[in-house]
Amino acid sequence: MTGPAEAAQERDPGLQPERTRLAWRRTTLACTVVAVLAAKQAVHDGTGPAGLIAAALCLLVWLGFLRVAHHRIRTLGGAPRPAPMPVRAALTATLCTIALAAFAVAIVV
């Protein structure tokens, strides 16, 4: 008979880490599309200095999100039981997503 400690070590994660890794990649792709479209809008439609600043901030936030996402994707792929996402990384990803949306809206308006 196996005890709780042995059962935890024999845990089969199934496809959960792979699904989470794919979700991070989809989110990264969506953020990339938003950043590229915001930059295109700012450059080609002549939004003025405020639009160019918003586009630059949008790209900066996008790079921050890429860093957090890349680190999480590597963490998920490295261990059979990945560590939970640190609160700081989760807050950074959330703030980057909100800021990216806000800067994109600022460019359009």
Q: How many Cα atoms are found within 13 Å in the side-chain-facing hemisphere of 74? A: 6
pLDDT recorded at residue 3: 56
Whole-model pTM: value is: 0.74
Per-residue CA distances from 78 to 19, 45, 60, 102 (Å): 14, 44, 28, 34
pLDDT at 8: 54
Q: Look at residue 104 in the predicted model and tell me its pLDDT.
A: 77
Q: What gap in Å lies between CA 42 and CA 57, rounded to an integer?
A: 12
Sign of CA dihedral 13, 4, 78, 96: positive
**pLDDT (tens digit, 9 = 90+) per residue, 19-49?**
888 999 999 999 898 888 888 887 777 677 8
Structure tokens at 36: 């590229």
